[in-house]
Structure 1
Amino acid sequence: MTIPSRRSSAIALGLLVATLAAGAGFANSGTATQCGIAKSTQGGMLALEGTILSPVAVSGEYRFAIQSSGNGGSSNISQGGYFTANANQATPLGKVLINAGSNYSVVFDVTAGGKKIDCDQDIASLR
């Protein structure tokens, strides 16, 4: 089946507009996708949780890696994989518990919509 050129041009334009609209959440500050690391305590341990919040439904891949050291020893933890997050809903993407007094470093990044986002910053909460 052959699609007339006018119709195929209209379809292509519609797909382009839809693609731009879907990616708009990553480009516009104020409505951009937010991500970061939430800290809390659980049973005397420090909980680190990678979280993402987007104004539009989004899917992609994430990497959440922690190196920690302290009196109890050291650890290297790496989590990651594919995810899907609903619009306007904070979605956890990885979580670890380490000794509360440990020194640690975190690498948390998200790739979605063809863009890589560095999410290493601490967050109190996402809105």
Structure 2
Amino acid sequence: MPSIVKHPHRVMAALALVLIPAGALATIATADQSVGPARCEIRVTPEGDMVSLEALAYADRKVSGTYSFHVESAGQTGSTNIEQGGAFSAAPGRPASLGAVTLDAKGAVYDARLEVTVDGKSIGCADQIGGAT
């Protein structure tokens, strides 16, 4: 069988030189989305037969931005669809409480999503809370 490529080692070296920087750029882009002046957290606190979810934003420097906090579930006892959002400010050393909900924990499973936007960049957090007690 005839070989189309006369120097396969050179072709592989050339591909490596092209693909390694492309991979590095993809890694940098991913890291840039998760690193910034702010980060988010969904704090889950069991309270007897209830569960409390609190949306928090932390900041490395004084920032302001917007947030969207969404909690939903569907189960035998009904469904939940809660949307909270608006503007916020945060500073180092003091997390900003963005929103909170207290829900029935008996047998329910909740999907919570928080998106924080600061300086035109969005940071997201998500959590699934199994409320079975």
* TM-score interval for Structure 1 and Structure 2 normalised by the shorter chain: 0.5 to 0.7
Q: CA deviation at 1:35?
A: 1.0
Counterpart residue number, 1:5 = none
Q: Extract unaligned runs of 5+ from structure 1.
A: 1-25, 123-127
Counterpart residue number, 1:114 = 120
Structure having the higher Rg: 2
Q: How many residues align?
A: 96
**In structure 1, C-alpha distance between the alignment counterparts of 2:95 and 2:79, rounded to whole Å:** 30
Q: CA deviation at 1:32?
A: 4.9
Residue by residue over 1:42-99, the C-alpha shift from the partner in whole angstroms, topping out at 9 and shown as x without a partner, is 3521111111111111110000011023443211000000011122211111111111
* Sequence identity (%): 35
User: Which stretch of the first structure deviates more once superposed, 55-64 or 43-52?
Assistant: 43-52
Aligned counterpart for 2:67 among listed residues 41, 62, 67 = 62
Counterpart residue number, 2:97 = 92
What amino acid is the match of 1:116?
A: S
Q: Does 1:50 find its partner at 2:55?
A: yes
Q: Extract unaligned runs of 5+ from structure 2.
A: 1-31, 129-133
Q: CA deviation at 1:28?
A: 8.9
Counterpart residue number, 2:39 = 34
TM-score, structure 2 normalization: 0.62
Q: Secondary structure at the match of 2:126?
A: coil
Q: CA deviation at 1:33?
A: 2.4
TM-score, structure 1 normalization: 0.65
The ranges of structure 1 where at least 4 consecutive aligned residues each deviate by more than 6 angstroms after the TM superposition are none
